[in-house]
Structure 1
Amino acid sequence: MQLKQRLFILLIILCTVTGNAQQVLPFVENFTKSDYAGDNQVWNVAQGNDNALYFANNHFFLRYNGIKWEKYALPNKTILRSVFADGDRIYCGSYKEFGYWKRIKGRMRYFSLSENKELFLGNADNEEIWKIFKHGNTVYFQSFNEIYLYNGKTVKKVKFPSQISYCYVIESTIYVASVRNGMYIMQGENFTEVKNWPELKDNIIHGMEKIGGKLYIFTKNTGIYTTTGDKLQPWASPINTLLKNDVLLTAKFIDANTLAVGTALRGLYIIDMPTGTYKNINRNNSLKNNAVLSITLDKEKDLWLGLDNGISHIENNSPVSLFTDNSGILGSVYSLSPLQNGYLFVTNHGIFNFSNNSLQSVPNSQGQVWDIYKNDSEYIIGHNDGTFVYNGSSLRKVNPVNGGWKFLKSNFDEAYFQANYSGIAVYKDITDLTHWKILDSITKPIRNISQNRPGELWAADNYRSLYRITYDKDFKVKRVENVSAQNKIGSDYGVKIFGFKGELLFLINNSWYQYNSLSGRLEKSGLFNTSFNNISDIISVNEDSFLVIKNGLLYLITQVKDAFRWKLLPEKYYQGRLILENTQVCSNGTDLLINLDDGFIAFNKDAANTVKQNIKVEAFYDGNLIDADTKIKYNQPVEINVVSEYYGYNRPDLYYTINDDDAMLPVKNGNILLSSLSSGRQEIKIFCNNGNGNTQVASYVFYVALPWYFSFWMILLYVLLLIGLFFLYYRWNQVKYTQKIRLNEEELRHRTQIMQLEMEAENRLRQQQHEKHMLEMEVQTKASEVAGKSLSIAKHSEMIEGIQAVLESDTGEQLKNKIRKIIKTNSISKNEWQSFEKNLLKSHEEFVTRLSHKYTSLTPKDIKLAIYLKMNLSSKEIAPMMNISFRGVELHRYRLRKKLGIEQEESLYKFMINV
């Protein structure tokens, strides 16, 4: 353990000796070749009128708009040494080549000005264009031995009197810096040597600018010269000696009071001209490389550096600056306080003093430290090992109260309170912290305390719960109330206490509460719940302003009359470095100092942020810029670039909506990738967010084609298919109709055949019926014949009977005998009568059957009479055949009528015919 402590102390001592590289520096954004996919060296940088940055990167011409990098190469693949922006043209110079780039349909296109002009002949065979500038209406392309003048139409070559480094335009004069012969002035195609600057002979000049009426000449190895009248003299500044040893490569005045100097060995110097003080930005603190090849000032007055390996963007004009200890010695800063010439830090590694650009560890302070409270010239420090006092030079332990999270002066009592690991300590005399007492009845670790009434103290537990503590004048606790539990707030972890305008507010589970002393209850704050929802932490700055952390972003809130004004601190300055739940802020003049891992952020709270946001929206489909002729296919991705004219602090926090959707989505890194787009009109609206509202700053409309299956050719195909289907349907119907007609004809033919067969059958039936009828008629005829014959027989029998009756007389016995013999011979026997009756019934068999079925009560005699009546025989003719008298026949006819139900006036003959 002792060995570890000794090693740690040795490390701190080494840090004290060598830890002089830390400074409060502007924010630096570095780009490596893995970011832009190019080469190492960046020889020159220029900003175009489209606000994009252009870089000469060896084999590549780079473009950067704050969102994406574009990489191009010259047609002959030669190395680019220079770029210069003029209007919509970006001129560039290379080996035996120069021309300009122009942006067309979202891509850079190159136009050569030297091709096929035979400019690089003879001694100019190895010329490279190292610098491009404009004077009047002429663009100059400068190599080390020659210069090429382009007037917009033609190119003229002019040879230098000797090898030079660079040309410089100062007001209306072109200065030509010779490597051996000092300085020339170029007039047309003539050169005049500047005789009274002999100091520049055999001196390489890397910069020349005029500011405040003075001319500054920057040399590679002999520092900076200024003019006094027409004479040169070394710049009278201590830093000039330093620059002589660091190999000066480039220089640029940021403004009349600030100079940026790029060196080969120690990076960039930003020099305050009136005081001679400087900030050195190098590989040890911010840069990726110490060799600064070029410096360009953008429209925000921020610096862009072309390095020997990479690109750096330095936000020197930002209200934000950073202190960062890259060594890791400092650790996570939990609190800090400004000193006369520096800062006092308390961290998880101990206490550190930063003064005169040197970071030193305070001896015997190692360990976790939480809090600093400034009391006149002394600092009361809450340490893991107790309470300490630091006077600027020495540290002493004053009591064993450990884990002091917060030291609070009472506004109502002559006392001080200290929240610590074991509760709350009370000090009656701040000059004598060796005497204290602990508030009884509360022995929990208390992280935060606040007070707005006498005899009352509010405390937040390190883990959960909000307490209200009342005490008497001797600081004896009268009552301790767990207010969050009393109000049944279940999730009361990490309670925040915030004092504002004399009132205390409590942030519990994302809701704001105030205490109603009359009801003894917590009540929700309408103002703060409306204005500050989704707040994770809040830190007081002064009576009218405070910091909030919302969705991981820092905002400075200032109350102006009845409204809150929000000012965003962009996330890039502290991303991944905030110490959540332990964020502290202190004031240092107009700057707010906010603790971070390995340092702090300094923010000028009075900095104006009222720049007008000019947002440009570019949309790309399939790698090409979308224009009026672009056909965007259905369900294909579209890339939206939301380009701001600012790269530094003023770069806005943007959100977007699509097609009037209520969902407000963040624009991440200026890029929106849209996929699964429906067809038709698409509108993107861009909003600038300032924390408490969104303002629309841009919009973009484009159109997505219908799905391929709804395209013109597909619709035409559908129409043709539909026509084809209709045709097929028509043909099918036609064939079906033809088949139907054929079937109908066939059916008709079959029906005709059937009808013919039926007719033939019917004819045959009729024929048969006719034949049958004829047979019946024949039978009837024969029956009539039989009847007639029967009648004849009957008459004959009657005659015979009459003759026989005569012969039975006594006269003519012999005659009588002969007649008897004849009668006997011609008489009809009984069998013949029976045979006659049988034939009679058979000939009228159907008639007898129908009549018998219909009238079941008829007797054989009735039937026989009916047959005779059907034969239309009279009663007189019927009488002998039935062997009854005439009157017997009439009586029988009468009875038959009764049985048949025939009226008297109805003919029996007709009735029998119709049976």
Structure 2
Amino acid sequence: MIRLLVFLVISGCLGSVPVCAQNAISLPDITNYSRQQYLAGSQNWHMTQHEDGTMFFANNEGLLSFDGVNWHTIALPNRSKLRSVASDEHGRIYAGGEDEFGYFDADASGQLLYHSFVPKLPKAERNLSDIWNIAIIGDKVFFRSAAKIIVLTGNRFNIYHPRSHWRFMGQSNQVAYAQDLEQGLLRFVNGNWETFLAPGDLPMDCLITDMVTLNADSTLITTFNHGCFLLRGSRVTAWNSPGLDLAAAGNIYKAVEIRNNRIALATSMGGLFVIDNKGELLQQFGLKEGLQNTNIRSVFLDDRNNLWLGLDDGIDCITINNAIRHISPDRNNPGSGYAAIRFHNNLYLGTSTGLFSIPVDSYSDLSLVKGDFKKVKASSGQVWGLANINNRLFMAHHEGGFLVENEKAVPLFTERTEGFWNFWPMQSVFPSSTIAGGNYAGIFRLTFTRNRVEPAGRLTGFTESSRFIVVEQPGTLFTSHPLKGVFRLASNDNNETVIKKFGREDGVNSELNNAIFRVKGRITLATEDGLLEYDSATGKFLPSTLLQPYFKCKQISYLREDEEGNIWFTQGKEVGVLDMQGEQPAVIYFPELRNKFVRGFEHIYPVDRNNILIGGDKGFYLIDYQAYKAGRHPLRVRISSVTCSNGAQDSIFFGGFALSDSMQGRTIAYDFNSLRINYAGLLYGQPNNVEYSFMLEGYDQGWSPWTNNHTKEFTNLREGTYTFHVKARNNLGRESAVSCLSFTISPPWYRHWIARTIYVLITGLLFYFIYRRLVNKFIEQQQKYEQEQKQMLYLHQLELDKNEKEIIKLRNEKLEVDIKLKNSELASTAMHLVQKSEMLNSIKSELTKLLKKLDVDKEQEETKKIFRLLTDEAKVDKDWDQFSGHFDNVHSDFLKLVKEKHPQLSATDLKLCAYLRMNLTTKEIAQLMNISVRGVEIARYRLRKKLELATEVNLVSYFVDFAPSIN
């Protein structure tokens, strides 16, 4: 509390010492990073920068990294606060926390992994407490806790204990220093700590916080509670100045040397103080200047001269050497900037709250001007324009027109008028005898005679608001209204105003959003359709042959030419310049100023070739244009990470570090063939100045268009070898070197060479099986065909057989009919023979009777003769032969076959067989054989014996079936 009161008292006292306590009028841009942005702990104790440009912070929650786009945190194994961090030239990042110290290094996938040194210490020395400092000097790394300093040389650890406790450790001129409360300031020499400053050489209870090398024989020593000291050789002296005293009152916690022999002092209560090598305060940064808080835990200058502040809550980045700086004439009540002019070694800035001035003398770099702006008396309110006409300073104000004299605004008009936009000389000679003033309701004329400015009345007939005026020639001028069009006003011989309004027939297609300027001596009109130029020969506006090739049809809202011939402009939310100094004119945009000005009321004032003032939404922006163009540091781009995904989970393929040859060509499983690649251009504090172009070799046909996106996703990549190329470009058109990462996506298992081999084998087998199947099918079909042919032949044969059977049946039927007929005939014949026999027998019987009755021998002889004729056997045999022939014809040579089979049969037996075959009755057979029935039965019996037939065999059936059995 006492320290805070002392700080407030000194701050108040120094307010009366303006020379020593004044700030520069311009402030660099400050980028605030809150813990809500970087998603880690509040306090940031130390900082370092990796060899690839990445920033690392010792944060309460671990190692915090930042590449300008991406934040990432890695916790220590014991989840303790990280108190210190340092990076060596090989990219190894040493870290110290609570009871933990070690280093981070990249693994095979480019991810940082932590390696602890604690297990390598003797067990008795592992109680470390907090490791507050790390210093890398040559091949040695020093780690400090309150109880011990550990020196790592190669793989060997040496531990040094203090007499009381170690309060500080730092380095100067590649020598390590440490403070012991009882021994004073010690220096590390030949492996030992030697007393360099005795305890009495510094104030009692003096806590050294940092050491900064000023030159070969001078070192700045900062303390937490006793200010600053200069160390020259072994002699130390207090270094006091009002600025240093103010910084000391805020408790100096850290210090770092910055460019141009300046030193930044970070305090725990007062923010940041920048001093020169004489101890004079150059700049103070606090809450008003844009810091998140004034309790600064660490300070670091990166390789691009950006100043990083590790705060008690957050991180700030001050682009302390940036060519664009901010000027706020009234920091307590910042207003928008509308007008600026350098006049009589004073810089005047007109804002929405009034007109402010500050002496600038002969400063070639306005950012170095120190002091406080003073408000011009009677200028409160909206200032619209400033003009140096006839060596007099005119101010256009919402309250009217004024001359600025002796730092006071003097009204031009005795009566109250409408507000004025600005003033213009009507003649190109000096002094101009007529001055035009554009105001809210027309144009006023003023005369300049005998160094006096007198109102000459309003231009008659014209009452439109006239913020943009260009004088064509004495008595003739152009004006434009953003809503009502473009006008040309000329005075005739009768001092009357001739007004011409330009329309479509004159080349002006719209009345809206027109603004008129003079560029390169040409009357130029900015329209919605592009830039036009007035052609006095035709009295029309034509497309600008000078500017249209560079701006095409873009809508430009403001134009201003500087003394070098460069053309400054605004376009939408952008500020830019058409630089005419190179071999080819180039359009340069300033992304740092995007949307930071009041659109519709833009103002650009080129003070000289170096200093360009631009009205902003809060004050002004000062561009050191030549320094901005120089761009001393080359742009770098890094691949921050590559994440693979299979849709359900992500896997880190590349962690962003150690992009060496060993990282190239690694393989990604096909399941993870969707990639998200993050990359960043290491341009801290100016992320909007960077554009990226990329190409995935093996996938893209060429480089992509430039874009502000710093992430690219590829989905469902096929197997193969790819190389991702990315490059960055700043707004000056300068490109970085290309950063590349090669990788191979393995084929899916079903497209692996083994699988392909299996496919070939399977395909071969498949073709073989198909071939075999086709062959078998052909054989089956052939067999089927043959079977069908056989079947058809069989069916055909069956049909033939059927037909033949039908024929045979018919034939048999016919034969049966014939047989029946023959049998009928045979039966008839047999019956005829029977009848004949009966008749002959009757005749014989009658003749026998007659012979008995005849007595005459002659007659008896004649009768016997007849009787002999009737009993003639030859006649009977002849009849039998004829019968048997007919019988065999009918019954398929039955008798012949029977005789062949049974040669023992007699002719009588054959007759009996034939009669039995004809199924004649016994009586009928008896008659035919001319024997008795009993004789037939005896004949049948004898026949059976000759045939050797069993008794159960029917003799008739045997002869009926005899013919088929023979066949």
Give the secondary-structure state (helix, strand or coil) at the position aligned to 2:547.
Answer: helix
Q: Which one of 643, 652, 667 corresponds to residue 621 of structure 1?
A: 643
Q: Which amino acid aligns with 1:457?
A: L
Structure 1 residues 616, 190: closer, same or farther in 2, change over 3 A? closer
* Partner in structure 2 of residue 823 of structure 1: none
Structure 1 CA distance, aligned partners of 2:213 and 2:703? 54
Give the secondary-structure state (helix, strand or coil) at the position aligned to 1:435.
Answer: strand
Q: Which amino acid aligns with 1:560?
A: Q
- Alpha-carbon deviation of 1:293? 1.1
1:267·1:291 contact (CA, 8 Å) conserved in 2?
yes
- Alpha-carbon deviation of 1:488? 4.9
* Partner in structure 1 of residue 549 of structure 2: 530
* Partner in structure 1 of residue 738 of structure 2: 698
Structure 1 residues 224, 695: closer, same or farther in 2, change over 3 A? closer
- Alpha-carbon deviation of 1:710? 7.0
Q: Does 1:248 align with 2:252?
A: yes
Q: Which one of 548, 554, 563 corresponds to residue 575 of structure 2?
A: 554
* Partner in structure 1 of residue 919 of structure 2: none
Structure 1 residues 229, 176: closer, same or farther in 2, change over 3 A? closer
* Partner in structure 2 of residue 33 of structure 1: 35
Structure 1 CA distance, aligned partners of 2:41 and 2:478? 61
* Partner in structure 1 of residue 385 of structure 2: 371
- Alpha-carbon deviation of 1:463? 1.9
* Partner in structure 1 of residue 282 of structure 2: 278
Q: Which amino acid aligns with 1:602?
A: L
- Alpha-carbon deviation of 1:605? 1.4
* 1:351-750 correspondence runs (5 A): 351=355, 358=372, 365=379, 367-374=381-388, 379-391=393-405, 393-399=407-413, 400-412=416-428, 414-429=433-448, 432-433=452-453, 435-472=455-492, 476-478=496-498, 480-533=499-552, 534-543=554-563, 544-550=565-571, 552-560=573-581, 563-569=584-590, 571=591, 573-588=592-607, 590-607=610-627, 608-622=630-644, 623-625=652-654, 627-631=664-668, 633=670, 637-648=674-685, 653-658=690-695, 659-660=700-701, 664-668=705-709, 670-675=710-715, 686=726, 689=729, 697-698=737-738, 700=740, 702=742, 705=745, 711-712=751-752, 740=781, 743-744=784-785, 747-750=788-791
Structure 1 CA distance, aligned partners of 2:355 and 2:485? 31
- Alpha-carbon deviation of 1:540? 1.2
Structure 1 residues 165, 561: closer, same or farther in 2, change over 3 A? closer
Structure 1 CA distance, aligned partners of 2:724 and 2:439? 53
* Partner in structure 2 of residue 831 of structure 1: none
Structure 2 CA distance, aligned partners of 1:335 and 1:709? 70
Does 333-342 or 624-633 show the bigger shift? 333-342
- Alpha-carbon deviation of 1:44? 0.4
Structure 1 residues 198, 663: closer, same or farther in 2, change over 3 A? closer
Q: What RMSD in Å do the two structures reach over aligned CA positions?
A: 4.0
Q: Deviations over 1:606-654 (max 9, x none)?
A: 2122543343345502333184223265896533333334425699532
* Partner in structure 1 of residue 224 of structure 2: 220
Structure 1 CA distance, aligned partners of 2:703 and 2:484? 36
Q: Which amino acid aligns with 1:597?
A: D
* Partner in structure 2 of residue 754 of structure 1: 795
Structure 1 residues 181, 68: closer, same or farther in 2, change over 3 A? same
2:578·2:585 contact (CA, 8 Å) conserved in 1?
yes
1:78·1:94 contact (CA, 8 Å) conserved in 2?
yes
* 1:127-138 correspondence runs (5 A): 127-138=129-140
Give the secondary-structure state (helix, strand or coil) at the position aligned to 2:396.
Answer: strand
Q: Which amino acid aligns with 1:35?
A: Q
* Partner in structure 2 of residue 258 of structure 1: 262
2:420·2:440 contact (CA, 8 Å) conserved in 1?
yes
Give the secondary-structure state (helix, strand or coil) at the position aligned to 2:247.
Answer: helix
Q: Does 1:114 align with 2:118?
A: yes
Q: Deviations over 1:829-869 (max 9, x none)?
A: xxxxxxxxxxxxxxxxxxxxxxxxxxxxxxxxxxxxxxxxx
Structure 1 residues 576, 488: closer, same or farther in 2, change over 3 A? closer
User: Aligned residues, how many?
Assistant: 758
Give the secondary-structure state (helix, strand or coil) at the position aligned to 1:239.
Answer: helix
- Alpha-carbon deviation of 1:398? 2.6
Structure 1 CA distance, aligned partners of 2:817 and 2:712? 112
- Alpha-carbon deviation of 1:686? 4.5
Give the secondary-structure state (helix, strand or coil) at the position aligned to 1:91.
Answer: strand
Give the secondary-structure state (helix, strand or coil) at the position aligned to 1:467.
Answer: strand
* Partner in structure 1 of residue 93 of structure 2: 90
Q: Which one of 285, 288, 300 corresponds to residue 296 of structure 1?
A: 300
Give the secondary-structure state (helix, strand or coil) at the position aligned to 1:582.
Answer: coil
1:539·1:583 contact (CA, 8 Å) conserved in 2?
no
- Alpha-carbon deviation of 1:380? 2.4
- Alpha-carbon deviation of 1:227? 4.1
Q: Which amino acid aligns with 1:427?
A: L
Q: Deviations over 1:586-619 (max 9, x none)?
A: 2446321111112221110121225433433455
- Alpha-carbon deviation of 1:767? 5.2
Give the secondary-structure state (helix, strand or coil) at the position aligned to 2:534.
Answer: strand
Q: Deviations over 1:512-551 (max 9, x none)?
A: 2222222333222334222123353343141412223356
Does 279-288 or 344-353 show the bigger shift? 344-353
Q: Which amino acid aligns with 1:369?
A: V
- Alpha-carbon deviation of 1:100? 1.1
Structure 1 residues 775, 134: closer, same or farther in 2, change over 3 A? closer
* Partner in structure 1 of residue 10 of structure 2: none
1:656·1:684 contact (CA, 8 Å) conserved in 2?
no
* Partner in structure 2 of residue 869 of structure 1: none
Identity within the alignment, %: 21
2:325·2:623 contact (CA, 8 Å) conserved in 1?
yes
Does 318-327 or 91-100 show the bigger shift? 318-327
- Alpha-carbon deviation of 1:746? 5.3
Q: Which amino acid aligns with 1:630?
A: T
Q: Which amino acid aligns with 2:566?
A: S
Structure 1 CA distance, aligned partners of 2:345 and 2:148? 52
Structure 2 CA distance, aligned partners of 1:487 and 1:694? 42
- Alpha-carbon deviation of 1:69? 1.2
Structure 2 CA distance, aligned partners of 1:84 and 1:162? 26
Unaligned regions of 5+ residues in structure 2, if any?
A: 1-21, 360-369, 645-651, 655-662, 820-967
Structure 2 CA distance, aligned partners of 1:264 and 1:473? 75
- Alpha-carbon deviation of 1:376? 7.7
Which of structures 1 and 2 has the larger relative contact order (alpha carbons within 8 angstroms, sep 6+)?
Answer: 2
Q: Which one of 191, 196, 199 corresponds to residue 194 of structure 2?
A: 191
* Partner in structure 2 of residue 65 of structure 1: 67
Does 225-234 or 760-769 show the bigger shift? 760-769
Q: Which amino acid aligns with 1:58?
A: N
- Alpha-carbon deviation of 1:258? 0.7
Q: Which amino acid aligns with 1:419?
A: G
Structure 2 CA distance, aligned partners of 1:472 and 1:368? 35
* Partner in structure 1 of residue 105 of structure 2: 102
1:405·1:419 contact (CA, 8 Å) conserved in 2?
yes
Q: Which amino acid aligns with 1:47?
A: Q
1:594·1:600 contact (CA, 8 Å) conserved in 2?
yes
* Partner in structure 2 of residue 825 of structure 1: none
Q: Deviations over 1:791-818 (max 9, x none)?
A: xxxxxxxxxxxxxxxxxxxxxxxxxxxx
Does 551-560 or 416-425 show the bigger shift? 551-560
Structure 1 CA distance, aligned partners of 2:163 and 2:272? 33
Unaligned regions of 5+ residues in structure 1, if any?
A: 1-19, 779-915
- Alpha-carbon deviation of 1:139? 1.2
Structure 1 residues 503, 137: closer, same or farther in 2, change over 3 A? same
Structure 2 CA distance, aligned partners of 1:696 and 1:84? 27
Does 613-622 or 136-145 show the bigger shift? 613-622
